[in-house]
Structure 1
Amino acid sequence: MNILLSRFPSRSGSNIGLVRLRALRKHMMSSTSGSKTVTVGLIIIGNELVKGQVQDSNSFYMCQRLHKKGVQVKTVVMVPDDFNMIEHYLREFSSKFTFVLTSGGIGPTHDDITFEAAAKAFRDEMKVDEALESIYKNYFKENYTETHKKLSTIPRMASLFPNNQGFPIVQMRNIFILPGVPRFLKLAIKAVEDHIGSSAVSAAGQTVYLTLDEMSIARKLSHVAQQFPEVTIGSYPVFDNNYYKVRITFESLNSDIVEQCVSKFRQSLLPGVEIDYNENPLDSASHDLKKMLRTELEAPLTEAMSVCTEALERYKLDEICISFNGGKDCTALLHIWYAVASQHPDFGKEGSLQALYIRNNEPFPEEDKFIEECINRYELTIMKFTGKIKEQLAEMKRQHPNIKAIIMGTRLTDPHGQHLTAFQPTDQGWPTVMRVNPILSFSYSNIWTLLRGLSLPYCTLYDDGYTSLGSASSTKMNPALKYVDSDGTVRYRPAYTLTDGELERAGRGSQPT
C-alpha cells in the first residue's frame, strides 16, 4: 500500500534530512578521490514481480530518469518479499554504490518488510517516527487505526527526506526507500533525482528515429563510429512500433562532438527516413495537447477538452470511467482524458483513472495485447466484462454503483451517432448512466492527426490495413487500402493513409461494437 499526500511537511521545523544528505554526498564524493561518477544500485521488491503476475515498470523509469542526470545505474536486482534477501542486497549495495534506491515493500501488511530489513542490515532498531505518524494521521483522519502505524515505523537512524512532491520519502544512510506503485514511484524519483545527480557529469546525447531497418544503416553507422571514436553509438531495432524501426543514440561528454557526429550520420540518409518522435508522450500530455490547438484540430480538440473539463465539474473523478476497447477513437480520447484529468486535484490517488472494457466474444489478440499495454501505460484501473453491452453495463453498475458517467469515444459519423449530444443519459430501459461524448466533432482524419501528431501508440492492426475494429469474424482489412507491390504480392496500406473518411467502415460487418 502506498499513500499520496497533497502536502508533505519536512521534519518539525528543521532540515535534518537535507543536512544529512549534503553531508552524505560530501563524504561519498570525497571517498572517490574527487570523482564525478555517481553510481546507483536498484532493488526492486515484490512477490508479484518475480512471479510474473505484475510487470515491472519502475526499474525502467528510474534507469531512464537517472541516466538523463548523468547517474550510472550499475546493477538492478528484483527480489521477492524475502527478508534475508532484502537485507543482504541493502547492505551490499550500500557499500558498493554511491546511492541505493529501493522500490516496494513499505505498506501496512505483513509482507511489507523493507523498513525492517533495512534496520537489520545496519543493526538498527525500529521506532515510530512522530513526524511521519503525524502525516498519516492528518491524511487518514478518523480512519486512522493501529494498522496504519506500521507505515510510520522505520529504522531509528532513518529520516524523512524533504520534498514537495506530495509523498513521504524515507532516507537511511545512502539508501532511499521508495514506493512500489508506479505513479507514486514517479513522484518519489522526481523528488530525489536532482540531489542524487547534482554532482554527476551528464553526457550529451541525441536520438535519431528511422523508418529503415537496422541492416539498411549498419554500414553507415560503422563508418561514422570510426570517424568519431569519442561518441558512444547505440542501435536498437524494434518490431512493433507504429512509427519507427530503429532508434539510434549518440552520447559523449562533448556536446559539440555529438552534434558533429549526428550531422555526419544524417548526411548519409535519404530524405524522409528520419522522423520526429516523442518517446514519452505522457510526460507532457497536457502541454503537448494544447500545442495541437494550433493545428487543424483547434475546433474539435477545444470542444473535447471543454467537455472533459465540464465532466469533472459535474462529477467527482471516482464517479467517472472511460469506455476503452483498444480502438483508434477511444485511444485518442484516452489521451485527451488523461491530459485533462491529470490536472484534477484527485488525480494520482490509487484507482483515480478508471476504465470500462466490455469485451466482445471474438476480440483480436492484437487488440487485447494493446489494451493491456494501455492499462500499464496510463495506469488504469480496469473494469473488464465480456458479453452484450447492455447486460454487462448493468453488471458494471451493480459492482460499481459509484460510477455515474462514462466517457465515450463516439463520433457523429458513427452509426447512431448523429443525434448524440455532449452529455446524454442512456436510453430508456438501459442502466442509468450519463454518456459523455467529447469527440463527437472529430473526423476520421482528425483522429489520426492527433494520434500521430503526438506519437501515441495505437493497435498494430491499423498498420495492417484495418480502419475500424469490430469482432475478429466480422472485420476485414479495408479494400480501399489494398495494393499490389512490385513482386506481385497483395498488401494493405496503413489506416492513417485512408483519405476518404466515408470508407472508414468498408471492412466492417454488420455488428458494430
Structure 2
Amino acid sequence: MSAHTIGGIKPRSTAAIIVIGDEILKGSTLDTNSHFLCKRLHKLGVVVRKIHVIGDEVNSISNEIKELHTKVDFLFTTGGIGPTHDDKTFLGLAKAFEDELVFNEEIASAVSSLSKKTEPNKGFIQKLSTIPRSATLRWGREKGTGERGKYPIVQVKNIVAFPGVPRFCELAFDNIEEELFPSTEFRPIFRETIYANKSEFEFSDELTKTADNFEGRVEIGSYPDFNNNYYKTKLIVESENEEDGAKAVEELKKIIAENLVYYDAKPWLNTVQKWNAFRERKLVSNPNFVKSLDGAMACIDGILDEYSLNQIALSFNGGKDCTVLLHMLRVAIDKYGPGQKIAGFHIVCDDQFPELTQFIIDAAKMYNIVVMELPGPLIIGVSSLKEQRPQIVPVLMGSRASDPNGKYMKSKVEWTDSDWPRVLRVCPILPWSYQDVWMMLRGLCVHYCQLYDQGYTSLGGRETTVPNEMLRIESSGNIRYCPAYTLNDGNEERKGRKNK
C-alpha cells in the first residue's frame, strides 16, 4: 500500500479509543467496535489518534483513562460494562478521578423495563446501575422514531463508555451521535473514492503532479488491490474543502480516463438509481447499447404491467445471460418498491459445477429470489413448474438469438409450442450480443459465477464444458486463461462447449 499525503486535514476534534476486555487480548473474541467507531468518527471529520487494548483490571483502566483523556477531545471506551465480576469500566472511571460509585435510579428503571424477566435479578440491576457520581447520562434519540433512547450511555468528563457487545455499541453510537456531534458544529470532511482498472504504477507520475497541485488542501490515498476482478487501484480523496476535493476528483478522473471503473460492491441495492446512472453514462459513450438496454427493460416492464408477480417465474441456472436478466428484473420490480421476492426455478444438471451451485445460492440471497430446483430436461422441468405453481404464465429466460435454442424464437415474447406445457416464453435480451451481456455485467459490477474469470465462456455440465481455447495463454510452460469478458469475437463463445 502506498499513499500520497498532501498536507494534513485539520479536523475540528480528536479522539482515542480504549478497548477493554481480557477476551480480546486472549484472542477469544474479535474486536469490531474500534473499527466501527473509527469509520464513523472519520466520516464526521474526527481523527482517531490512538487505540489501546487493555484487560479487565481496574488500575489499568484507570491509568489509561488518566493518560489519554487530556490528550484528545473525546475518549471512548468499549467493553467492561455489565453485571458480572469482570466488568470493571465504571470502577476504573471512578478511580481515575477519585470519584465515588453511586446507585443510579434512572439506569435501574431502564434495566427493569428492558429486562425480559418478570422480576429482574437485584444483583444484575445493582451492578449495571452503579456508576461514578460525576457521570452524565446520555440518552440520545432513536433513529427513525426520534424518541428518547431506551438505555443511557454513561459519560464522565470527555470519556464516553460504550458497551462491548458490538450490536449494542453500534446502536448506542447511532442514538447519541447527533447529541455528541451536532451537525451544526461538525461538518463531515469531503471524501470520495475512485477506482481504476490499471495499476497505480501506470499513472503514478500524473498522480504525483495532481498531489502537488493540491498540496496542503487535499489528501489522496492510493491503494492497489490484487484480488478484485473489477479494479486494480483505489484512490481515496479527502479534503476539508468540498470544492477543492471535487476539483481533485475531476483531475484524477481525467487522468484515469477510459480506465475509470464505477465500482459497486453491492449492485443489488438501490438498483433503480444505479441503473439510471449507468444508462446515462452509456448514452454518451455507446448510444446503440442503450437501445438494447431500453428494449430489454421495456419488454420486462410490459410483462410486469400485464401480470402480477406471483404469475411470473424466472429461469435461473446461474449463467451470465440469466444473471443479466435477474438483475434487470430486480431493477424493474424495485421501481415499485424494493424488497419484493422474485420467483425463480432452476433445472438441475447431474454434473453441475459446484461453483455454479454456490453462485445460485449466493445470488438468491442477494437478489431475494426463491429458486425452485426442478428435474431436467427443460420440458420436464417446465411441466413440474406448472404442476407446483399452476398460476405461472410468463417464464423469463436469458436466451439470445445466438444460442442453439434461441435461434428458433421469432420474437422476444412467444407462447410455447403445442407439445409443451403452456407458458409464455419471454426473452428480453434475445437480440443482444455476447459483448452486450458483458458490457452490462461489468458496467454495473453485477456479481457472476467465478468460472467466467477462469476462461469459461459458456457454462453447461462439467463433462461438456471446458475453458475457451481462444482465451488460452501459455508462457514458460505455464497455461492460464483470460476472463470470459476479454473474448473479442462473440461468435467464438461456445468454443468452450463440447459438441456444441
With the shorter chain as reference, the TM-score category is: 0.5 to 0.7
1:171-190 to structure 2, matched below 5 A, reads: 171-173=147-149
Matched, 1:348 2:339: yes
Structure 1 match to 2:392: 403
Deviation of 1:395 after TM superposition, in Å, equals 3.1
**Contact 1:208–1:274 under 8 Å retained in 2:** no
Distance (Å, rounded) in 2 between the aligned partners of 1:406 and 1:73: 54
Corresponding letter in the other structure for 2:192: Q
1:174–1:363 CA distance, 2 compared to 1 (3 A) = same
Counterpart position of 2:225: 237
- Look up the match of 2:450: 460
Gaps of 5+ in 2: 1-11, 17-32, 52-78, 91-106, 116-138, 153-173
Task: Describe the shift of the 1:434–1:119 C-alpha distance in structure 2 as closer, same or farther (beyond 3 A).
Answer: farther
Q: 2:187 aligns with which of 182, 201, 216?
A: 201
Contact kept? 2:195, 2:263, Cα under 8 Å: no
Which residue number corresponds to residue 44 of structure 2? 70
C-alpha separation between the residues in 1 aligned to 2:365 and 2:108? 33
Q: Tell me, in whole angstroms, the C-alpha distance in 1 between the residues paired with 2:250 and 2:278.
A: 30
- Tell me which amino acid in the other structure corresponds to 1:237: D
Partners of 1:423 and 1:437 within 8 A in 2: yes
Matched, 1:448 2:438: yes
| Residues 1:230 and 1:430: Cα distance change in structure 2 (over 3 Å) | same
Q: Structure 1: which amino acid aligns with 2:421? A: P
Shift of 1:204: 1.5
* Counterpart Cα distance in 1 of 2:343 and 2:108: 38
Please give the alpha-carbon distance, in whole angstroms, between the structure 1 residues aligned to 2:311 and 2:421: 15
2:99 maps to which residue? none
Out of 416, 431, 438, which is 1:426 matched to? 416
1:287 maps to which of 249, 252, 276: 276
State the distance in 1 between where 2:495 and 2:350 align.
22
How many residues were matched structurally?
A: 363
1:247 to 234, 239, 242: 234
Percent identity between the two aligned chains: 30
**Structure 1 residues 360 and 299 mapped into 2: Cα distance closer, same or farther (>3 Å)?**
same
Structure-2 change in CA distance of 1:287 and 1:258 (3 Å): closer
Q: 1:505, CA displacement in angstroms?
A: 0.5
Match of 1:412 in 2: 401
How many angstroms does 1:405 deviate by? 1.9
**Take 2:390 and 2:37, find their aligned partners in 1: how far apart are those partners?**
40
Are residues 384 and 66 of structure 1, via their aligned partners in 2, closer, same or farther at CA, if it must alter by over 3 Å? Answer: farther
Alignment of 1:276 with 2:261, yes or no, is yes
Query: Residue 478 of structure 1 aligns to which amino acid in structure 2?
Result: N
Matches within 5 A, 1:67-216: 70=44, 121-124=110-113, 171-173=147-149, 198-199=183-184, 200-211=186-197
Q: Equivalents in 2 of 1:396, 1:193: separation in Å?
A: 51
* 1:339 lines up with 2:331 in the alignment: yes
| Matched-pair contact (CA < 8 Å) for 2:312–2:394 | yes
Instruction: Letter of the 1:378 partner, please give it.
Output: Y
Residue 88 (structure 1) shift: 6.4
Corresponding residue number in structure 2 for 1:6: none
Structure-2 residue corresponding to 1:380: 369
SS of the counterpart of 2:276?
helix
Cα RMSD, aligned residues only: 5.0
1:311, CA displacement in angstroms?
A: 0.4
**3-state secondary structure, aligned to 2:480:** strand
Deviations 1:68-127 (A, max 9, x none): 96388999xxxxxxxxx9x969xx9xx9xxxxxxxxxxxxxxxxxxxxxx998443389x
In structure 1, C-alpha distance between the alignment counterparts of 2:283 and 2:207, rounded to whole Å: 38
Equivalent residues of 1:212, 1:273 under 8 A apart: no
Separation (CA, whole Å) in 2 of partners of 1:322 and 1:257: 47
1:263/1:293 CA distance change after superposition, 3 Å:
closer
Deviation at 1:259, TM superposition (A): 6.7
Contact 2:231 2:261 in 1 (8 A): no
Amino acid at match of 1:305: M
Structure 1 segment 291-370 matched on structure 2, within 5 A: 291=280, 292=282, 295-344=287-336, 347-349=338-340, 352-370=341-359
Q: CA deviation at 1:384?
A: 3.2
Contact residue 242 and residue 457 of structure 1 kept, 8 A = no
CA-CA distance at 1:364 after TM superposition = 2.1
Deviations 1:14-49 (A, max 9, x none): xxxxxxxxxxxxxxxxxxxxx88999xxxxxxxxxx
What's the offset of the Cα at 1:242? Answer: 2.7
- The aligned counterpart of 1:17 is none
Deviation at residue 439 of structure 1 after TM alignment? 0.8
- Residue matched to 2:382: 393
One-letter amino acid of the structure 1 residue matched with residue 480 of structure 2: R
Work out the CA distance in 1 between the residues paired with 2:339 and 2:349.
30
Preserved contact between residue 426 and residue 434 of structure 1 (Cα < 8 Å): yes
- Note the alpha carbon deviations across 1:311-353, whole angstroms, 9 max, x for none: 01221022212222221111222222222221135x534xx32
2:232 alignment partner AA: K
Shift of 1:476: 1.0
Given residue 449 of structure 2, which amino acid in structure 1 is its aligned partner? C
- Residues 242 and 458 of structure 1 are in contact (CA less than 8 Å); yes or no, is this contact kept in structure 2? no
1:502 aligns with 2:491: yes
Equivalence for 1:478: 468
What's the TM-score, normalizing by structure 2?
0.58
In 2, the alpha carbon distance for the partners of 1:246 and 1:236 equals 4
1:339-370 Cα offsets, whole Å, 9 max, x none, are 2221135x534xx3222222312222332333
1:496 deviation in Å?
Answer: 2.1
Relative to structure 1, the CA distance from residue 370 to residue 175 in structure 2 (aligned partners, 3 Å threshold; closer, same or farther) is farther
Measured in 2, the distance between the counterparts of 1:480 and 1:467 equals: 10
Query: Does the CA-based 8 Å contact 1:69-1:197 persist in structure 2?
Result: no
For residue 384 of structure 1, give the secondary structure of its aligned residue in structure 2: strand
- Equivalent residue letter for 2:494: R
Q: After the TM superposition, which parts of structure 1 deviate over 6 Å for at least 4 consecutive aligned residues?
A: 35-39, 62-69, 71-75, 157-162, 192-197, 213-225, 227-230, 259-267
**TM-score of the superposition, structure 1-length normalised?**
0.56
CA shift, 1:455, in A, is 3.0
Residue type at the aligned position of 1:426: T
Which deviates the most, 200-209 or 320-329?
A: 200-209
| Alignment partner, residue 45 of structure 1 | none
CA contact (8 A) 1:423 1:435 kept: yes
Give the counterpart letter for 1:337 in structure 2. L
What letter matches 1:70 in structure 2? Answer: L
